[in-house]
Amino acid sequence: MKNLTDFIFVIPNAMPHELCDMLLEEYQTDAGFEPARVGNGLVFDALDDNIRKCEILHISEKDVMQKNAFVRERLDMAVFGCVANALKYYQERVPTAAIQKDLGYDLLRYKEGGFFAEHIDSSAQTPRAIACSFGLNEGFDGGEFAFFGGEYVVQVPKGSAVMFPSNFMYPHAVTPVSNGIRYSIVTWFFNMKIEAKSNCPLDGFKPCRQLECAWFMKIRGSNPNTGDEVDDWGCSIVWMPILMIENAQQQRQTGAAVESFRNEMVRANEVGHQVLVAAAEQRGLS
């Protein structure tokens, strides 16, 4: 018989200490840290420091990345490698953990007094499947993962990771940091695609009538947003943003081609002009 704790793993050496140090060196002075929010299924994305008191930096987001793109893109890739290895470790032990993707990485900073009250990670808005949290530093007290009302407590030393299911059976807290600052990188894996509901705002939000509607059409090609192959049916209105992006890309390419053609023509005209001038000089016409 399996126990709930059989699905909670602390993975040693999940991230090299050098990478932990580089991440802190790069990000700990970033001005983009903000108070972390909570979502409980009813109130989504709210600030409440009675429930959660720590700061967050969304290190995979474009505006954070672009502050020092050369370094940060490489750090992101390095974290991705560690996350992939941690997931492999988990799936070797829990083969039923079918995961599709993660949604980027957050750097969390718990200063003295920082904590996260007991909660679960998954909700209707964010259907997370597995959490993965890397410890980045030492030199603090508290800040442990406490599951099931504190019945099962795990520490996540520097360079290790804790992974556990995000569902309602895994309530957990981060105990208060009583001394020092605790840094961690956290991500979640999803096992389902996030898809918009198939309902039509032009038809009272009833389910899409698909082939009964003349606007339901097939598109084939590559998605200019993701590069993924598209060969699917869908509503014309839903296709519109993708087609507009595609159109903008084509316009840019056309503009670049016209500019290149113009430059070639100017150059050719100059050469022709020089030939005419030289011929005129030879005949003593200039």
Q: Residue 165 Cβ, how far from Fe ion at the closest point, in Å?
A: 11
Site for Fe ion in 93-152 (CB under 5 A): 121
Among the listed residues 209, 211, 212, 208, the one whose alpha carbon sits nearest the alpha carbon of residue 195: 208
From residue 202 to residue 241, the character string flagging contacts with Fe ion as x (rule: CB under 5 A) and all else as - is ----------------------------------------
- Structural tokens at position 275: 């030939």
**SS3 label, residue 230:** strand
Looking at beta carbons only, is 76 or 121 nearer to Fe ion?
121
- Structural tokens at position 31: 């001005």
Amino acid identity for residue 95 in this structure? P
**Gap between the terminal Cα atoms of the chain:** 102
Looking at beta carbons only, is 75 or 107 nearer to Fe ion?
107
b or e along 141-175 (b: 16 or more beta carbons within 10 Å of the residue's beta carbon)? ebbbbbbbeeeeebebebbbbbbbbbeeebebbbb
Site for Fe ion in 152-171 (CB under 5 A): none
Looking at beta carbons only, is 140 or 145 nearer to Fe ion?
145
**SS3 label, residue 29:** coil
DSSP annotation string for 52-92 = EE-EEEETTSHHHHGGGHHHHHHHHHHHHHHHHHHHHHHHH
Q: Residue 36 Cβ, how far from Fe ion at the closest point, in Å?
A: 10
Q: Residue 258 Cβ, how far from Fe ion at the closest point, in Å?
A: 53
Q: Residue 26 Cβ, how far from Fe ion at the closest point, in Å?
A: 24
Looking at beta carbons only, is 115 or 239 nearer to Fe ion?
115
Instruction: Give the CA angle between residues 269, 250, 63 to the nearest 5°.
Output: 115
Looking at beta carbons only, is 37 or 65 nearer to Fe ion?
37
Separation of alpha carbons 14 and 189, rounded Å: 16
Q: Residue 255 Cβ, how far from Fe ion at the closest point, in Å?
A: 48
Looking at beta carbons only, is 126 or 223 nearer to Fe ion?
126
Q: Residue 186 Cβ, how far from Fe ion at the closest point, in Å?
A: 8
Number of residues that bind Fe ion (CB under 5 A): 1
Q: Are 136 and 85 in contact (CB under 8 A)?
A: no
Looking at beta carbons only, is 136 or 208 nearer to Fe ion?
136
Residue nearest Fe ion by beta-carbon distance: 121
Q: Residue 101 Cβ, how far from Fe ion at the closest point, in Å?
A: 19
Query: Binding residues for Fe ion, per CB under 5 A?
Result: 121
